[in-house]
Amino acid sequence: MVKAPTALEVRVVTTPAEADLFLDLSAKIYAKDSNWVPPFRSSVAKQFLPENPFFQYGRLQRFLALRQGEAVGRIVAAVNDRLIEREGQAIGLFGFFECLNDREAAEALLEAASDWLRQQGMTRVRGPINLSTHNGCLFQVDGFETAPVVLMPYNPPYYPKFLEELGWQKAQDAYSYDFPITTVLSEEFEKSYRIATKSGVTFRPVHTKGEGFEADVRSIYRLTTQMFANNYSATPRTEEEFLEEAKSLQSLIDPDIFPVAEHNGEMVGYFMGLPDYNIALKHINGKLDLWGTLKFLWYRRQIDQARIVLFCSLPEYRRKMVPLALIYLGMQGGIKKGKPYKRAELGHVFEGNSASRRLVEASGGRICKTYRIYEKAI
């Protein structure tokens, strides 16, 4: 008896029509998920254009899974030469993964990505990482009862289950922390602020306009590159890449929750808080056209929570209590009269970053979501 051919096909994305299927698939997957926030379609598409700086140090292949011509899944396999150089091993990446609740399709996509990476000389694959950890990474594995905050990952609960059933191993977990508005910092934080100011450190809100904004972004880039160079699976960005990303967020900044620390005119630390614009963005369907802009302006009035993205200081300023002072100022800024914030979510912090986790937990943060990156030998 001849076995009927499977209706499932995995295809390399080569045509504009296939590229559209790739981009539009997520809307189908999350159509009934009220927590999902559609990404900007143009921003996802931009990642695959030749002018993306990634192509100066990497290469990729996009795949689609189809059943009888209908897209049911997608994946990108990528080789990031900067990551290989840093880690000293032939490790490839998968990212931009989306799939209906169809284990056969998920397995076929992961196998297609692994096969391509094997052909590129890779011996292990890690993901989800969208070309680099700066563009998006991690599968959410719990905490699905609440919506994702701005710039954090989100996925159906069955994604991590698929990988674990298919033999993928946890490589690293990361956590988000909840900070209710009722969180009361210990006196140590205000005391740290006084100690820092007495030692000559000054604090101010980040600049949001003109030359001051660009100067602050370049200072934040230098600090971030220095302080997070050893983050898990991290690869460096150019200063211009960083500046371009910052400009896309410029109009979203609330300076009251984004203090910076300076000493002798040089930035030595910062606390990066942002309003949770996902509350408004979920209503515009990933398109900031005229109608989308009007809806965004309407729904942004409902924003009542924030995301704490990062905080850091140069090591030599930790004795001057700068990290605790920045946390104090960021939290105080969020509860100023007239501010709408009822809670904040800090994330993500990799499980191995024990120093940051201790400080976050000492500030009153409680783990509310877990995320995971996986690996597999190929």
pLDDT tens across 260-316, in order?
Answer: 999 999 999 999 999 999 999 999 988 888 888 899 999 999 999 999 999 999 999
Q: How far is CA 60 from CA 280, 295, 320, in A?
A: 32, 35, 45
- Under 8 Å between Cβ of 150 and 274: yes
Q: Are residues 345 and 197 in the same domain?
A: yes
Predicted confidence (pLDDT) at residue 181 exceeds the cutoff of 90 = no
Q: Are residues 213 and 118 in the same domain?
A: no
Q: Are residues 196 and 111 in the same domain?
A: no
Per-residue pLDDT at 5: 45
Q: Report the b/e string of 327-354 with b at 16+ CB within 10 A.
A: bbbbbbbbeeeebebebbbbbbbbbebe
Q: Are residues 241 and 315 in the same domain?
A: yes
Average model confidence (pLDDT) across the chain: 94
* Residue among 152, 175, 169, 177 nearest 350 (CA): 175
Greater pLDDT, 235 or 181: 235
Predicted confidence (pLDDT) at residue 4 exceeds the cutoff of 50 = no
pLDDT > 70 in the chain, percent: 98
Q: Are residues 204 and 133 in the same domain?
A: no
Q: At CA 217, angle to CA 350 and CA 264, rounded to 5?
A: 100
Report long-range pairs for 163-170 (Cβ below 8 Å, ≥24 apart).
163/110, 163/139, 163/374, 165/103, 166/106, 166/107, 166/110, 167/376, 168/110, 168/374, 168/375, 168/376, 169/374, 169/375, 169/376, 170/372, 170/373, 170/374
Per-residue pLDDT at 3: 40
Residue 67 domain flag: yes
From the centroid of its chain, how far is CA 226? 19
Tell whether omega for the bond before 348 is within 30 degrees of 0, i.e. cis.
yes
Q: Are residues 351 and 216 in the same domain?
A: yes
Per-residue pLDDT at 6: 62
Per-residue model confidence as pLDDT tens digits over 229-238: 888 898 888 8
In CATH, what number is assigned to the domain containing residue 226? 3.40.630.30
Question: How many domains, the chain?
Answer: 2
Greater pLDDT, 3 or 359: 359
Residue 157 domain flag: no
Domain extent for 198 = 179-370
Q: Are residues 355 and 240 in the same domain?
A: yes
The partner residues of 92 in beta bridges, in order of sequence, read 125
Per-residue model confidence as pLDDT tens digits over 137-175: 999 999 999 999 999 999 999 999 999 999 999 999 999
Q: Backbone phi, then psi, for 208, in 5-degree steps? A: -120, 0
The pTM (predicted TM-score) of the whole model is: 0.93
